[in-house]
Each structure stands twice: as structure tokens, then as C-alpha cells.
Amino acid sequence: MKDWKETYFNDFIKLNRGFDLPDSKIKEGKYPIVASTIVQYITSNYWPLNTALYVKDFKGNDEKYVYYFLITMHLENFNCGAGVPTLNQNHLHKQKILLPPLPTQTRIASILSAYDDLIEVNNQRIKLLEETAQELYKEWFVRMRFPGYQDTRFVKGLPEGYGELTYFKDFIKLNRGFDLPEHQIKEGDYPVIASTSIKAYHNQYKVKAPIITTGRSGSLGTILYVNQDGWPLNTSLYVKDFKGNDPIYVYYTMKSIDFESFNSGAGVPTLNQNHLHKLKLWIADKNLQAKFKNIAYPIFQQIETLQQQNMHLRQIRDRLLPRLISGKLQV
């Protein structure tokens, strides 16, 4: 590390505020609009919003290294907003940092990027597999071209003897998730499931696998299938009772429902279960659900294998990240 040098953040990169773009002025196009969420590495031309900061000048540093470096800085710690979190650049600029020479930056970025590249390849494979299973569901239960449909009598577009019209409340039962403040999360093996994704892993679980969730508050419409015991958070709803229906069939049926249209929140989007319960659905009988599962389940197994691979890749990358950026691990 003798060739590493201490410098100020202000001499490392230059951050600029993003640009105003009211919703009314957005025109559909190919350029992504980037808001303030997490540190992101964008490879195409884009429009950073005024709620975000973007790197205006990399000052000769490796761009991918800068991305990984910013992740390790935990920029949320530089908040100066009393209400809305706001990044205090004055404090940030005065931070002393340890910086390796450019060739070392490039090697570090290359090591970490290798893990991200593998994760991205797996994500693309997962996307294709999910699209395959989704298309199978649509073919069978939307277009009604399931095995044997040619010899089936249809009445008002619905097949006789293969299912029935029923209310959502008679299909499955959804329950609100459970409270779990961040400071009470203890590292473990059980996924903590928020409204749109797995947030963390805890040492306890509340619900046995499989777990199917949708957003209850804050973000509506995302359906998650988690095939392990876990802890659905209070911002989500989980399937408490499948009422004899196959979980994979339930998952794709839920994905076909526009949950966002059942929003009852004036400010924060909130799912209105009273209206949802009155929704009428055509539900396939158990025999047809079982046939669907026989084809869809092997696809699910492939998806789960790839998701497990990604989880392990992220764990390795996240262990390497602070050690490489700090210079504790030589390259």
C-alpha cells in the first residue's frame, strides 16, 4: 500500500446536482431517468433527476472503481435534512480518503465487476425462465388453450368442467406481514420480505415456505414467490391460506391481477382488501392446476438455483468490497 495516497474527497471526484424534469414534460424515449435511490452505475446516456447527484468529473479515476468506492462510503451518514434526507456535500468534501493508483483501481474494479457480471448473466437467464412460465400461464388460463381445450365446451368464453368463477376472498386469504424494526434484525438465514424485494436475512421466521407476497403499503403490484421460511414485513401481504390451490398457480394468478388499481391511499399507496375480496376470477380446478405445476415447477427449480447462485455471489462480492477498497486485501 506504499503507493496509495491520502487525499480529500473533493479532489477525488466532483458531484453535481441532477436536473429538473416534471412528470408533465417526460416524453417516452430510450434514455433512463435516474432518481435518488442507491448508488448506481449507468452505462448508457441518462437523465439524473434533481433528487440525485451524479459524477460530473471522475478526475482521472477509474469510473467503475469510483462506483464501488461510493458504495462503501454509506452516504446516508452524511444526511443534513431535518425532515427529508439531504446529502451534505460540504461535510463530504472534507472527508479524507485513501486512494490507490489508477492501475490498482482498475484491478479492484475488475475483480468486483466479475461478480456483478455473473449476477447479471444469471438475472437475464432468470428473466427468460420467468417469461417462459408466465407465457405458459397465459396460454392455458388467459387464452384458454390448455390440454384438451379442443374437445371442451365453452360458455361465454369459459370452459365447462375445468374450473369455476369465484370471488378473490374464496380463492386465497391474504394477511398483513409482521413488524420488524431494522435495529431488531439479527443476521441469519431467513429472508425478510418487504413490499418489492427481500430486504435482509434474519435469525427467525414467521411464515413457512412457500411464501407469496404482494405490497400492502408504499409500493403495490409486485408479486414475490420465496420458497423458504421467512419473515414478511408489515409493508406486505402474504398468502396465509391457499385454500387448496397450488402455490405456483396462485403466484401466476396474482401476477395477472392489477393490484395497483385497488389502491386506497391518498398519500402512501395502500392496498384495499375490501375491494379486492369482491374481485371475480375464473379459477382452474385442482386437476388442471396440477398439470400446470408439472410443467412450471421444473422452471421454478431452475430459477431458484440461479437465485441461490446470485445470493452466494453477492455475499462473496460484499465481503471482498470493503477489504479491496480499504487496501486490506492486496491485488
CATH number, domain with residue 312:
1.10.287
Q: Which residues contact 66 (CB under 8 A, 6 or more apart)?
A: 12, 13, 55, 58
CATH number of the domain residue 17 falls in: 3.90.220.20
Number of structural domains found in the chain: 3
Same domain for 229 and 280, yes or no, is: yes
Residue 79 has pLDDT above 70, yes or no: no
> Quick one: pLDDT band at residue 263, thresholds 50, 70, 90?
confident
> How many CB atoms within 10 Å of residue 96?
8
> Quick one: pLDDT band at residue 223, thresholds 50, 70, 90?
very high
Look at residue 158 and tell me if it is in a domain: no
- Domain C-terminal end among 66, 84, 99: 99
- With pLDDT > 70 as the criterion, what percentage of the chain qualifies? 96
Same domain for 109 and 218, yes or no, is: no
- Can you give the pLDDT at residue 290? 97
Total-model pTM? 0.83
Same domain for 38 and 136, yes or no, is: no
Quote the CA–CA distance of 238 and 223 in Å, as a whole number: 10
> Quick one: pLDDT band at residue 75, thresholds 50, 70, 90?
confident
Residue-range definition of the domain harbouring residue 296: 104-148+291-331
- Can you give the pLDDT at residue 274? 84
- Can you give the pLDDT at residue 14? 94
Look at residue 155 and tell me if it is in a domain: no
Q: Which residues contact 200 (CB under 8 A, 6 or more apart)?
A: 185, 191, 192
> Quick one: pLDDT band at residue 261, thresholds 50, 70, 90?
confident
Quote the CA–CA distance of 275 and 108 in Å, as a whole number: 53
Look at residue 328 and tell me if it is in a domain: yes
Task: Say what angle helices 247-255 and 102-141 make with each other, to 10 degrees.
Answer: 100
Same domain for 269 and 321, yes or no, is: no
- Can you give the pLDDT at residue 80? 62
Same domain for 89 and 17, yes or no, is: yes
> Quick one: pLDDT band at residue 141, thresholds 50, 70, 90?
very high
More confident residue, 94 or 288: 288
